[in-house]
Amino acid sequence: MSELRIRVLGPVQAELDGSEVRLSKPRHREILSLLVIGRGRTVSTTSLVDDLWEDAPAGAAGIVQTFIGELRKIIEPDRAARVPASILVTRGSGYALNLPRGAVDLWRAEQLLGAHEHECALAEWRGSAFEEFDDRMWARGERARIAELRAGAVEHLAGGRLALGRTDEVIALIDPHVDAHPWREDGWRLLALALYRSGRQGDALAVLRRARTTLARGLGLDPSERLTDLEQRIREHDRDLLAQGTSILMQTASIQARAGARSQLESATALLPLLALSGSVDAATERRVATIIAAEEFGDPELSARVIVRYDVPGSWTRSDDPAKSAVIVAAADRVIAALPSTASDRVRARLLATIAMESRGIGSRMAEAQEAEAIARRLGDPALLALALSARYLQSFETTGRAGIRADIGSEITRLALDSELSTFEIAGRLIRMQALCALDDISSAAVEADLVDALAGRFERPLASVFTAWFRHTFLGGPRPSDGPEMPGFRTGLKELADLTTAVRNGNDLPGAHCGPYEPWCRPIILAHNERHEEASSSLDVVPDPPNDLMTEVCWYLIGTAALAEQHEDSARRAYDALRPAVHERAAGSGAVDSGPVGPLVEALGNAIGRRD
C-alpha cells in the first residue's frame, strides 16, 4: 500500500511514497484541509458545503461528492474499481481521513509539542498554516490557534537554549519572532536577555524600548512589571542576570566555574550522562571527548580514569553514533588501564573495561573486557557496576546470529538489578533489550508489555530517546504511526526508514523502494537490483557483498542477501547466507525491534534446498 503524506503547515500538498501528487484544483486542497482539521473525525457533507461556499449553489452536496471522488483517485491511484476507499473514507453522512498521526505535518507537530520536542515540531513548518486560505472563515480560528502553538514552541526552545548559554542561537531564533508576534512579551524578554548575555547591553535596552513603544501604540498598554524590572536590571549592569538562566543548573554551573581546572573537569563529566539521557547525545559525546583529552593533559591516569568512567550510560543500540569519537574514547581507556597504579580501585578498572566494550560495539570484538568487568562486579557485589558490565556484554553478544535468548536473559537480569537498587536508567535499558530480543523470539505481545513499561519510565524520568525505540516497535509490529525524524542518535536513525520500507516490501511481496539505505546499502543493493531485473549487476553485487557487522541488524542483512541469492541463483551467496542464518532458524529477523524481515526458518529451508543441504 502506498504511503500518503499531507502538508498543511505552508502550501497544502500531498505526497505518495515521497513523490508529490498534483492537487491542481483549489477545492481539492480546501476539502483536504477541512478533513485535516477534523483529525480523523467525520466531517459532515453539510459542514463541508457551509465552509466551501458563502452562498451554496444548487446541488452543492453532489458537487462535494464529485470533488471527493476526484480526490480519492489522486491519493489512492491504485485502488481498484468498486473497492471501498481506505484513506478518504465515507462515514455516515460525511467523510474522514483514515491516516496515522505521522502522516500529516500538523498532527505530527501537535504530537511532538505534547512530548516537549519543540525543535522537531518546529521543523514541520514551511510557512503559515493553510496559507492560501487565509481569507476563508473556516481557516481564521484554526490559523490563529496554530500560530499560537508555533509561537509558544519557539519561546520554549529559545528559553531552553538560553539556559544552556547558546545566546547566538536564541537571538537568531527570537529576532524574527518578535516581529511576527509583537504582542508576546516573552519574546521581547528572551531577546533582551540573550543580547545582554552576549555583551550587547545597548542593543538589549533598545529592544526593551521598542517593546514598550509597540505595546503602547498597538494595545494601549504599558509593559508588565517583569519586563520593566528586566530593563532596570540591565540598565544597572546586574551581573546576576549573566548567571541566571531559567534553571538552577545554570546558576550552579556558574558557581562551579570558579573552581580549579581538575574540579571543573570532574564536575562537567558528572553532567554529561544527564545531557545524553535527556536527548542531546551528540552534544554529550562531543563534550565527553573534550573532557577526556583535557584530563589526559594532566598526566594523571587516575584523574583520566575518573573522567572516563563517570559516563555510565547504558547502550541499547549496537551501531555507534560517531565511530571516530568512540575510537578516541576506547584508545584513551586502553592507555589509562595500562598506566593505572596497582593501588587503583577494582571498580574503576571494571568501569574502564565496560567502557571499552561498550564503545567498541559494532566495530570490534571486546567481549573479554565485558566478561572481566562482569566478573569483578559479581565478586564485589555491586549492582550498579554489574548492570553496567551486563550492558557492555549485551553490546558484545552478536558473535553469531540466533542469540536473542541470551540477550533476553541479559535484559531480564539488568531489569531485576535495576528494580532492586532503584536504577531507573538501567531499568529502561534492560526493558529495551528485552523488547528487542522478544521481537526476534516472535513474542510480540510480551515485547509490547515491555514497550509500555519503557514509555511510562521515560515519561516519569524525562528520558525522551527511550520512546524513539518504542515508537519504532509500535510502527513495525503494531501498525502504529511512523515515528517522526529527528536529529539525535544518527547511529540509530540513519538509513533506518529506508531499510524498514525495503524489508516490509520484501516481506509482503510488494514493489521495492529504491531509496539509498545509508550504512545498510551494501546489503540492500543486491535485492533491489534483482527485483528490477538488472541481473548482471545484482550478481556482481552479490560477488562482492561483505559480511554484515555483528549487530542488531545482522539477521536482517543476511536475510536480504539470502533472498537476493535465491532470486539470482547465486550459489556462493546462498551458501554464505545459509551458514550465517542457520543458528537463527527458530527466530525472526527482527532483533532490532524496529525492522522486521520475518521468520528466518522458511528462508533457511529454501537456501538449503538451493545449495543441496538438508541438515
Tell whether the model's pLDDT for residue 492 goes beyond 60. Answer: yes
CA separation, residue 233 to residues 207, 245, 614 (Å): 14, 15, 82
Domain 164-249 CATH assignment equals 1.25.40.10: yes
Confidence of residue 254 (pLDDT cuts 50, 70, 90): low
The SS3 of residue 136 is coil
Tell whether the model's pLDDT for residue 260 goes beyond 70. Answer: no
Annotation: CATH topology of 4-133: Arc Repressor Mutant, subunit A (1.10.10)
Q: Which amino acid is at 184?
A: R
For residue 279, which of 115, 106, 411 has the smallest C-alpha distance? 115
> How far from the centroid of its chain's Cα atoms is residue 522's Cα?
24
Whether the Cβ atoms of residue 174 and residue 157 lie closer than 8 Å to each other: no
Distance CA 184, CA 190 (A): 11
pLDDT of residue 493: 74
**Average predicted confidence (pLDDT) for the chain:** 88
pLDDT digits (tens, 9 = 90+) for 137-194: 999 889 989 999 999 999 988 888 887 778 888 999 999 999 888 888 989 999 999 9
> Average pLDDT in the 347-367 region?
88
Tell whether the model's pLDDT for residue 1 goes beyond 60. Answer: no
Distance CA 521, CA 242 (A): 49
Q: Which amino acid is at 473?
A: F
Confidence of residue 558 (pLDDT cuts 50, 70, 90): very high
> Average pLDDT in the 565-580 region?
94
pLDDT of residue 283: 72
pLDDT of residue 404: 95
pLDDT digits (tens, 9 = 90+) for 367-395: 999 999 999 999 999 999 999 999 999 99
Percentage of the chain exceeding pLDDT 90 = 55
Place of cell 552478536: 398
Percentage of the chain exceeding pLDDT 70 = 94
Distance CA 155, CA 204 (A): 17
pLDDT of residue 289: 84
260-478 matches 164-249 in CATH topology: yes
191-195, 196-200, 274-278, 281-285, range with the lowest pLDDT: 274-278
pLDDT of residue 485: 67
The structural domains of the chain, with segments of one domain joined by +, span 4-133, 164-249, 260-478, 494-611
Exposure string of 62-91, with b = 16+ CB inside 10 Å and e = fewer, is ebbeebbebbbebbbeebeeeeebebbeee
Beta bridge partners of 94: 44, 91
> CATH for 260-478, among 3.40.50.920, 2.30.30.30, 1.25.40.10, 1.10.3720.10?
1.25.40.10
pLDDT digits (tens, 9 = 90+) for 308-349: 888 877 877 777 777 888 888 899 999 999 999 888 899 999
Confidence of residue 246 (pLDDT cuts 50, 70, 90): very low
Tell whether the model's pLDDT for residue 265 goes beyond 80. Answer: no
Distance CA 576, CA 164 (A): 51
pLDDT of residue 491: 67
Confidence of residue 107 (pLDDT cuts 50, 70, 90): very high
Cα Rg, the chain, nearest whole Å: 28
Confidence of residue 57 (pLDDT cuts 50, 70, 90): very high
Confidence of residue 295 (pLDDT cuts 50, 70, 90): confident
The SS3 of residue 372 is helix
Confidence of residue 412 (pLDDT cuts 50, 70, 90): very high
> Average pLDDT in the 532-552 region?
92
Say which residues have a Cβ less than 8 Å from residue 114's Cβ, sequence separation at least 6. none
Whether the Cβ atoms of residue 21 and residue 1 lie closer than 8 Å to each other: no
Exposure string of 211-229, with b = 16+ CB inside 10 Å and e = fewer, is bbebbeeeeeeebeeebee
> Average pLDDT in the 243-251 region?
50
**Cell numbers placing 208:** 526593551
66-75, 198-207, 409-418, 512-521, range with the lowest pLDDT: 512-521
Question: What are φ and ψ of residue 44, in 5° steps?
Answer: -70, 155
Tell whether the model's pLDDT for residue 613 goes beyond 80. Answer: no
For residue 518, which of 538, 537, 501 has the smallest C-alpha distance? 501
